[in-house]
Amino acid sequence: MSNIVNIATSLDGYISDKDDGLDWLDLIPNPDRLDFGWADFMNRIDAMVMGRKTFEKVCSFDCDWPYTKPVFVLSRSLELLPEEYKGKAEIIEGPLSEVLQTIKAKGYEHLYIDGGVTVQSFLKEDLIDEMIITVIPVLLGGGTPLFAELPEQIEFECMESQVFLNSLVQTQYRRKK
Amino acid sequence: MSNIVNIATSLDGYISDKDDGLDWLDLIPNPDRLDFGWADFMNRIDAMVMGRKTFEKVCSFDCDWPYTKPVFVLSRSLELLPEEYKGKAEIIEGPLSEVLQTIKAKGYEHLYIDGGVTVQSFLKEDLIDEMIITVIPVLLGGGTPLFAELPEQIEFECMESQVFLNSLVQTQYRRKK
């Protein structure tokens, strides 16, 4: 089983800006609409785990539901998802170790872990196996940080690093065991 | 005139760990003692500007004075440096714009800006032209952050990115004008 983060951050480590906005993700012109490995990544994973806040943000986007894999929404406050998300997303709750057992029992092995709070919760329990981090060359100067305090240092190995559009540095890290 | 940052950070953006330590900088074995471009960089710059805390840290290292270029120590509290640093380092104070005018008047054009507080002060006034950031693949989970809150977003361009020892991602950014 592997839990994988795939996320874009600013140079100063934020995943959304001071106004909770994401406009800075489009700072670099992408005329050929490169996907920066996104389709390959989505093929690799079996399911997604995201927090309630990220789920609601995705729902607010002015586009169709963007995921083809099952989505598990970690939430203690939501009881039901709107009917339109039936078959796409479901709520899951409990300690992360139990959540992962439940998901694995459904046959999903490779999980895409998304959203700041969720990634931080997984890291606090050293449950992240891989991180693909794409750095946008801007200092936002504030916003929602990707990382938070941790009880212990966590070492990773750098597997690959590439530059897209002469601008975005995408690096793949794997937990060093 | 260009003001250049060249610094190593953890994956979560810290420049020293929770105990103010730097041991994590040596996590990656470097048997051939690669310098990651350090000598070339030191040849490029004319002088250094660092804060008092960084100066005192460098003085505490169990080695000879490591710099061959003049060092300006930003400090409001220090009045005199110990005699042994005469000809190596001098104190400078005042608003950064005046500090830079003073240094430039002495004939120094390309400045290496070092130390967390100093880098943050320069960035707050949008006075950094270039940043060379080397990311060590470890989450420290706390410590001294490289970046701080900023009044405005600051855009950079990615000039080059390379991986050293299959582990360290070093990226050179230039202020986008």
Residue B21 distance to chain A (closest CA, Å): 13
The answer to whether residue A63 scores a pLDDT higher than 90 is no
The H helix count followed by the E strand count for chain A is: 4, 11
Question: What whole-number distance in Å separates Cα of residue B67 and Cα of residue A118?
Answer: 44
A32 phi and psi angles, rounded to 5 deg = -90, 10
SS3 content of chain B, % helix, strand, coil (to 5): 25, 35, 40
User: Do residues B14 and B143 touch, judged by C-beta distance below 8 A?
Assistant: yes
Query: Is B95's Cβ below 8 Å from some Cβ in A?
Result: no
The predicted structure's pLDDT at residue B162: 97
What the block records as the tokens of B134 is: 């080397």
The ipTM estimated for the assembled molecules is 0.95
Question: What whole-number distance in Å separates Cα of residue A123 and Cα of residue A151?
Answer: 10
Question: What whole-number distance in Å separates Cα of residue B113 and Cα of residue B100?
Answer: 11
Contacts by A56-63, CB closer than 8 A, 24 or more apart? A59/A85
Domains assigned to chain B: 2-175 (3.40.430.10)
| B151 HSE (CA, 13 A, CB side) | 6
Question: What whole-number distance in Å separates Cα of residue A25 and Cα of residue A135?
Answer: 10
Quick check: B11 and A141 CB within 8 A? no
Q: What integer is the mean pLDDT of A38-52?
A: 96
Average pLDDT over all residues of chain A: 95
The position carrying tokens 């005042």 is: B94
Which residues from B are below 8 Å from A152, CB to CB? 141
Smallest Cβ distance to A161: which of B24, B140, B169?
B169
Smallest Cβ distance to B158: which of A140, A152, A166?
A166
Quick check: B163 and A168 CB within 8 A? no
Is A119 or B84 the better-scoring residue by pLDDT? A119
The predicted structure's pLDDT at residue A79: 83
The predicted structure's pLDDT at residue A1: 87
Tens place of pLDDT per residue across chain B (177 aa): 899 999 999 999 999 999 999 999 999 999 999 999 999 999 999 999 999 999 998 998 888 899 999 999 999 888 888 899 999 999 999 999 999 999 999 999 999 999 999 999 999 999 999 999 999 999 999 999 999 999 999 999 999 999 999 999 999 999 998
User: Do residues A113 and A122 touch, judged by C-beta distance below 8 A?
Assistant: yes
Percentage of residues in chain A with pLDDT exceeding 90? 88
The 3-state DSSP class for residue A120 equals helix
B154, B168, B175, B176: which to substitute to probe chain A, counting the most A Cβ within 10 Å?
B154
Nearest to B89 by CA among B112, B69, B103: B69
Query: Is B59's Cβ below 8 Å from some Cβ in A?
Result: no
Q: For residue A155, list its beta bridge partners.
A: B138
pTM comes to: 0.95
The predicted structure's pLDDT at residue B63: 86
